[in-house]
Structure 1
Amino acid sequence: MPAFHVLATPLDLEQLRACVLDPRAGGYASFEGWVRDHHAGRAVDGLDYEAYTMLAEREGERIVAEAKARFDVVDACCAHRVGTLAVGDLAVWVGVSAAHRGAAFDACRYIIDEVKQRVPIWKREHYREGDADWLHPMAENA
């Protein structure tokens, strides 16, 4: 399984977590990003994610490789949804295994922060008032 993938189907947490399980690892950290019901003081009913998939996966793979080298982790994986998501849906997942918890936490944070900054995935929020806005880069505490 690739270290980073863009999926149009719901994320399978059991399958994703299995990608980073390893007997050399003593620690595991993960991050789950869900669609929330508000942004910048506005009620959100849902959102759409779009990606330039080939470029997104290439840049995502680069980010995961950087984290593995920088933080001395055993393995790492990240998956991001595209398509229409409802409030509460899982939009992005990061998992990292390492010999020690500190490296796992640090690498996990690095991956999600870099994905939000560098990967060409765009978010269109649908507001309760009926309008919608495209947001990118996705670094605005999403």
Structure 2
Amino acid sequence: MDVIRLLDVRDQPLSVDEALAAVSDRGAGGTCVFVGTVREVDGGRDVTSLDYEAHPTVTDTLRTVAEKVAADVPVRALAATHRVGHLEIGDIAVVVAAAAAHRQEAFEACRRLIDDLKREVPIWKHQRFDDGGEEWVGAP
């Protein structure tokens, strides 16, 4: 059975319930979920909205990241979804979940998955601020 149960990058709203259902496992004693949302302030500046864009290799890279976490941490299940397109304040931008036999492994896998996703997966954030400014985050 594949431990990577859900990986997707989509322009539709994300569901925490979908990620939880994907990692549901009778052998798991611990499940950890991280939900990243669009915040109203970044770097002391008021954010009005943002857009995420992804490179065409995004799905392959996301799978590689998840496979490495699964190889390094004894998990029962992993899930990760990321939103692209236009998002407003409060919208869910990313959901990752991990289930493992014990809570420590679930926490470790969830943390690794979100950290590695943010560092390695080619998704870029274009933020707009209420002062008229804008910036790209994570762009090459």
- Work out whether the TM-score is over 0.5: yes
Return the offset for 1:47.
0.5
Out of 46, 54, 65, the residue aligned to residue 43 of structure 1 is 46
Out of 94, 118, 123, the residue aligned to residue 125 of structure 2 is 123
Q: Is the 8 A contact 1:3 1:61 kept in 2?
A: no
Aligned to 2:23, what secondary structure does the other structure show?
coil
Unmatched tracts of structure 1, length 5 or more: 138-142
Q: 2:85 maps to which residue?
A: 83
Aligned to 1:116, what secondary structure does the other structure show?
helix
User: Structure 2 CA distance, aligned partners of 1:103 and 1:16?
Assistant: 17
Q: Is the 8 A contact 1:49 1:82 kept in 2?
A: yes
Using the aligned pairs only, state the percent identity.
38
User: After TM superposition, what 4+ stretches of structure 1 lie above 4 angstroms from structure 2?
Assistant: none
Aligned to 1:11, what secondary structure does the other structure show?
coil
Letter in 2 for 1:17: L
Q: 2:19 maps to which residue?
A: 16
Q: Is the 8 A contact 1:51 1:82 kept in 2?
A: yes
Aligned to 2:75, what secondary structure does the other structure show?
coil
Q: Is the 8 A contact 1:73 1:107 kept in 2?
A: yes
Q: TM-score, normalised by structure 1?
A: 0.91
Q: 1:140 maps to which residue?
A: none
Return the offset for 1:106.
0.3
Q: Which moved more, 1:94-103 or 1:60-69?
A: 60-69
Q: 2:67 maps to which residue?
A: 65
Per residue, is there more strand in 1 or in 2?
2
Letter in 1 for 2:46: A
